[in-house]
A and B are shown apart, each in its own frame.
Chain A
C-alpha cells in the first residue's frame, strides 16, 4: 500500500497492511526543531540546520529524507506564512539561545531584538510595530504577547474587529496551494493541508502574533469569558467566519481538487487536564452549527477528511464533535481525566479516527525510560489500531526536552510493529 492508500483505508475504518503514521504534517503533530536535529543525526542524514516553519512552537520541518526514515504516510501542506505572518522563504541561519543553529525566514531573523536574555519579534517582521512575540530566557518557544487594546466596551463591540485576520483568499495564495498540493500528491503519501480560515475560537489565533494591530477581543481570558457573557457576539462571529470559509473552500477546491486527503479545520482546545472550557450545551449551541456548515460543505463536495485538534479532557464533548462532522480527533490526550484509551476506542472508535494518543507526552515520553516508552507504544497501538480508525502520532508535538533515546525507542517500536 502507498501512504495515501494506507491513510485512506484506516480513515474508512478498515485495517491497513500496517499501522498508518504521521509525523510533522500539522502544527499539532510535529516535532520541536531540537529533536528534529537529534533525529537527523541519529539516522545519519545530511547535516544542515533544521528549517523552522512554525516559530511559535519552534516546529522543525520534516524533510523527505527524515519522513522516509520515520516511515510517515503523510505529506504536509502548510500555510505559506508562519505564525508571525512572514512568508516561509528566503531562509537565514540563526543561532537559538540554546545553541542550536536553525533556518528561519530572513525577514523574521533581521527583525529580532534581543533583550534581558530573551528575544522579541514583530508582526510580519515589521519593527515599526510593538513586538508580538517573546522568547524568554530558557524558553523553547516564541510566546505570543497579548495585545488587547484596553477594556472591552460592550456597547461598541463590533464583530468586524475580530474578523480582521479573515478575508477572501487571493490568487497568489491559491496558486501556492495548487503548487504545494501537487507536489505533495506526487510523494504517494496522504496529503494533509492546513488551508486556514476555519478556526473557531482558537485562543492561539485570537492572540495571533501575525496581526499588525489587533482589535476586538484579543485576550485569552477575555475570550473564554465571552463564551459565557457574549454568546450573541460569538455566534455572529462564527457565522461570518464559516460563511467566508465555505466561499474560500470552493475556490481552493477548484484548484487543489481531490489531491488532498485530510484538511486541518480547527485547533481550538476545549479541554483542560481535568475538565472542559465549556459544557456540552454551550458547545452544541455556540460551535457545532458553524463547524457543521464547513464540514458538511467539505463532505458534500470533496473527498477530504476533516481534522479537529482539541486538547485535554474532552470525553464528555466527543459526541458533539463527531456530530459536528469531524472525521478525525487529535491529539487524544490520554493522560487527561476520563480519556481512557480503551473506553474511547470502544465508545467512539467506529465513528471517528484517532490521530494521536500514541504515547503520553506529559510523563512517559519526556521522563520515562526507553523500555517504558516501548511498552506504552505497543499497548496503545494494539488498542487504537483495531479495525482501523487510527493514525499514529504522539499526544501533541514532541517537545524540546524529550530525550532522543526515547524518541528513537518510539520509532523503533513502530518499525517493529509495522514490519
Chain B
C-alpha cells in the first residue's frame, strides 16, 4: 500500500506530508519517491479527470497535496542528483486573470517531472521572454480564456521568435483550438491539463 500515492490521488495534503516523511525515514531517495509515488499518482488523477470521473476541485486538491510533498523533497535534492524532463515557463497572458486551468497545467507538468516556473496572470511578452532566458527554459506555456486576450498570444509568439530564442511554445485555454494554435505559430496545443503533459513530452523528444 503506497500511502503517498493514495494521499496525492485523494488530494489530502497533510497526509501527503506525513507519507513523504515516512518514506524518507525508510531510506527512500527523493528521486525514487517522486518516480514511484508522486508521478504515478498525478498521472492517475489526471486520467480520471480527462475521463470525466473526477472534477476540477479534485485535481486542485491533488495538486496541493503533490506540492506539499514536493516542498519537503526539494531542499533534499541537490543539483544534478535529480532529473527533470525539462524546464517550463508558464503564465496567463496580459489582460487575462483566469488561472485555474493554467495552474492545473502547471501542477500536472510539475507533478509529472518537469521543472515549472509559474509567472501568474496578466503576463507580458517581455516577462515571458525574460523568465525563459533566466531559467534556460525548454518550453513557454501560454494560457488565455478570453477572446479579447487570445490575440496577444500571437504577439508573444512573434516576440519570442524575433528574439531568436530556441524554445517551444505551447498554448491552451477554453476558447482555443488546434487551428488557432497552428495559425499563430505555436508548437503545441492541448484542451486539457492531462494531455498537456503528453504534448510537452513530445515537443522535447
Contacts and interface: CB of A to CB of B under 8 A. Distances in A.
B175 A227 contact: no
B103 A140 contact: no
Interface string B35-60: 00000000000000100100111101
Nearest to A402: B147
| Chain A binding surface, main DSSP class | loop
B11 interface: yes
A129 interface: no
B94 A228 contact: no
Contacts of A302: none
Interface stretch (A158-166, A250-258, A275-283): A275-283
B24 to A, nearest CB: 24
B11 A229 contact: yes
Contacts of A399: 146-148
Interface in A206-233: 220-221, 224-229
Interface in B56-112: 56-58, 60-61, 64, 94-97, 100-101, 103
A406 B154 CA distance: 23
Given A139-B95, A277-B55, A362-B175, A225 B147 contact: no
A137 to B, nearest CB: 7
A194 B54 CA distance: 33
A411 B44 CA distance: 49
A228 B11 contact: yes
Contacts of B174: 272-273, 362
Given A224-B57, A272-B56, A401 B147 contact: yes
Q: Select the residue from B11, B122, B148 with max chain A CB neighbours within 10 A.
A: B148
Contacts of B118: none
Interface string B126-152: 000000000000000000001110001
A143 B97 contact: yes
B147 A361 contact: yes
A221 B60 contact: yes
The prevalent SS among residues of B at the interface is loop
A226 B191 CA distance: 25
A225 B95 contact: no
A138 B152 CA distance: 10
A367 B146 CA distance: 12
A2 interface: no
B100 A363 contact: no
A108 B100 CA distance: 29
B100 A136 contact: no
Tell me which of A140, A273, A363 has the highest count of chain B C-beta atoms within 10 A of its own C-beta: A273
Contact of A278 (B55, B95, B101): B55
B192 interface: yes
Contacts of A140: 95, 148
Contacts of B97: 143
A225 B60 contact: yes
Contact of B148 (A273, A277, A279, A400): A400
A201 to B, nearest CB: 11
Contacts of A220: 100
A277 B103 CA distance: 15
A273 to B, nearest CB: 4
B136 to A, nearest CB: 27
Contacts of B58: 228
A387 B64 CA distance: 49
B55 A275 contact: yes
Given A138-B152, A362-B147, A224 B100 contact: yes
Given A140-B95, A399-B147, 17 more contacts: A136-B95, A137-B94, A137-B95, A139-B95, A139-B96, A221-B103, A225-B57, A225-B60, A225-B61, A228-B58, A229-B61, A274-B191, A275-B49, A276-B55, A277-B56, A361-B147, A363-B175
The 5 lowest CB-CB distance pairs between A and B, nearest first, are: A273-B174, A139-B95, A362-B175, A366-B147, A224-B57
30 contacts: A136-B94, A136-B95, A137-B94, A137-B95, A139-B94, A139-B96, A140-B95, A140-B148, A143-B97, A225-B57, A227-B57, A228-B11, A228-B58, A228-B61, A272-B174, A273-B174, A273-B191, A275-B52, A275-B56, A276-B55, A277-B56, A278-B55, A282-B55, A362-B147, A363-B147, A366-B147, A366-B148, A367-B147, A399-B146, A401-B147
